[in-house]
Amino acid sequence: MKELEERIVRDGKVFQGEVLKVDSFLNHQIDPMLLEQMGKEWHRLFKGERVDKVLTIEASGIAMAAFVAKEFGVPLLFAKKNKTSNISDNVYVTDVESFTHGRTYKVQVSKEYLHAGERVLIIDDFLATGNALIGLINLCKQAGAEVVGLGCSVEKDFQNGGRMLRDMGYRVECLARIKSMDPVAGIEFVH
Amino acid sequence: MKELEERIVRDGKVFQGEVLKVDSFLNHQIDPMLLEQMGKEWHRLFKGERVDKVLTIEASGIAMAAFVAKEFGVPLLFAKKNKTSNISDNVYVTDVESFTHGRTYKVQVSKEYLHAGERVLIIDDFLATGNALIGLINLCKQAGAEVVGLGCSVEKDFQNGGRMLRDMGYRVECLARIKSMDPVAGIEFVH
């Protein structure tokens, strides 16, 4: 998506170790006009599918997923990161390994809001290792819900998450796919 | 706001101890069409003011605040709950006492995204004790930003948060104000 790529080039910051900061417009401060456009783009990409629900994970996926859900006219469900060891019987829960924070955490959704047979579009901000998305897929599997596809704003194409998910048979639509990035040489996109 | 009150009556669940669960449409599963309407209502209420930025706190305020920010055509900034004891020099940070979880936590925003002179509209989901809003006001004060007003989806009018904030001189606009609630007698609103 051209507008997103241009914005990443203009306002993103690349650091050593293949770190991209987009927190001026995507995941701390948020540009709602850009996110609404992104919602329309995912709708364009997936509108041939029946989508009953959009699923994301707190916190930085929520705003973009809300605009996607609005385009489809369906509810948004966000998985919560569990802060306690108390797991209620009324939730689906899975482990997610965090690359950024170097630890494993639990994410959960209430069983009341994810059902067998529902067709779910999963949205998240970054796709690198794919671990968070695998966690969301696991929650859908536990519920017997069907994953229509996966949408991420930014894919780090040089990591393996996207390839792994596509090899598993999932449709993955990322609005900006980064081939390489470097503080000096800049960012190159996959087209 | 009539649509929100009707939805609370229809889909909210009242438990003993003045607990209201609205997680089927507001803060776990989210109805984006309702939230967009709420965004339009806050815009109607505050459109006489110059608003440079919308500020909220993760996670359940993010979606509704994104729709408010879209209506004003301004950025949304969400304060992050700090999970570590490491506080960078580059953030404004404050303590928030959580009534629900019975503990104090730190919330922070990057100094890059909150500036002196900015006029900030603060949005959150629930207003009960007002502690989270006081925390967001503190972040604005640290930055030298000006609080235009405060918007919450649901106010528990029988708790003191709203009165305290109005007594401090802040304009507070809650889209549903609950006078009383009881599992048997149901919900009564302030009009």
Taking only the tens of pLDDT, chain B with its 191 residues reads: 999 999 999 999 999 988 999 999 999 999 999 999 999 999 999 999 999 999 999 999 999 999 999 999 999 999 999 766 667 789 999 999 887 677 899 999 999 999 999 999 999 999 999 999 999 999 999 999 999 999 999 999 999 999 999 999 999 999 999 999 999 999 999 99
Residue B12: C-alpha distances to residues A85, A91, B35, B182 (Å):
27, 19, 15, 12
pLDDT-derived band at A89 (thresholds 50, 70, 90) equals: confident
Q: What is the per-residue pLDDT for B84? A: 66
CA–CA gap between residue A74 and residue A90 (Å, rounded): 23
Nearest by CB: B58 against A31, A59, A73 = A59
CA–CA gap between residue A189 and residue A14 (Å, rounded): 14
Mean per-residue pLDDT for A146-151? 98
CA trace torsion B142, A80, A30, A11 (10° rounding) = 100
Does pTM surpass 0.90? yes
Q: How many Cβ pairs within 8 Å bridge chains A and B?
A: 92
Q: What are phi and psi of B66, to 5 degrees?
A: -65, -40
Cβ contacts of B80 on chain A, cutoff 8 Å: 28, 59
Q: Minimal Cα distance from B77: which residue of A? A: A29
The identity of residue A87, as a single letter, is I
Contact B32 A75 (CB under 8 A): yes
* Residue B143: CA count within 13 A, CB half-sphere: 28
Nearest by CB: B35 against A31, A66, A112 = A66
Q: What is the per-residue pLDDT for A84? A: 66
Residue A78: C-alpha distances to residues A67, B24, B181 (Å):
13, 11, 27
* Residue A120: CA count within 13 A, CB half-sphere: 27
Name which of B43, B51, B98, B44 is nearest B77 in CA terms: B51
Cβ contacts of B78 on chain A, cutoff 8 Å: 28, 30, 59
Nearest by CB: A32 against B30, B33, B66 = B66
Q: Each residue of A159-179: b (16+ CB within 10 Å) or e?
A: bebbebbeeeebebbbbbbbe
Evaluate if residue A83 carries a pLDDT over 80: no
Q: What is the per-residue pLDDT for A85? A: 62
Judge if the upstream peptide bond of residue B145 is cis by omega within 30 degrees of 0. no
Nearest by CB: A29 against B28, B29, B75 = B75
Cβ contacts of A24 on chain B, cutoff 8 Å: 112-113
Lowest mean pLDDT among A44-53, A79-88, A97-106: A79-88
How large is the angle between the packed helices B62-72 and A32-46, nearest 10 degrees? 110
Which pair of structure tokens corresponds to residue A152?
């991420």
Beta bridge partners of B53: B120
CA–CA gap between residue B88 and residue A100 (Å, rounded): 17
Cβ contacts of A67 on chain B, cutoff 8 Å: 32, 66
CA–CA gap between residue A19 and residue A47 (Å, rounded): 32
Nearest by CB: B23 against A70, A73, A110 = A110
**SS3 call for A52:** coil
Nearest by CB: A113 against B24, B73, B109 = B24
Name which of B147, B113, B156, B137 is nearest B22 in CA terms: B156
Residue A109 near chain B (CB below 8 Å): yes
Q: What is the per-residue pLDDT for A77? A: 98
Tell me how far apart the terminal alpha carbons of chain A are, to the nearest angstrom: 10
Cβ contacts of A80 on chain B, cutoff 8 Å: 28, 59
Beta bridge partners of B187: B181
Q: Minimal Cα distance from B79: which residue of A? A: A28
CB neighbours of residue B83 within 10 Å? 12
Residue A67: C-alpha distances to residues A48, A141, A148, B31, B67 (Å):
18, 25, 17, 11, 9
Cβ contacts of A76 on chain B, cutoff 8 Å: 29-30, 32, 63
Cβ contacts of A7 on chain B, cutoff 8 Å: none
Q: What is the per-residue pLDDT for B82? A: 79
Q: What are phi and psi of A168, to 5 degrees?
A: -75, -5
B70 vs chain A: nearest CA distance in angstroms? 5
CA–CA gap between residue B151 and residue B147 (Å, rounded): 11
- Structural domains in chain A, sorted by start: 2-189 (3.40.50.2020)
Evaluate if residue A51 carries a pLDDT over 80: yes
Angle at Cα B109 formed by Cα B103 and Cα B114, nearest 5°? 140
CB neighbours of residue A36 within 10 Å? 20
Contact B75 A113 (CB under 8 A): no
| 8 Å CB contact between A94 and A138 | yes
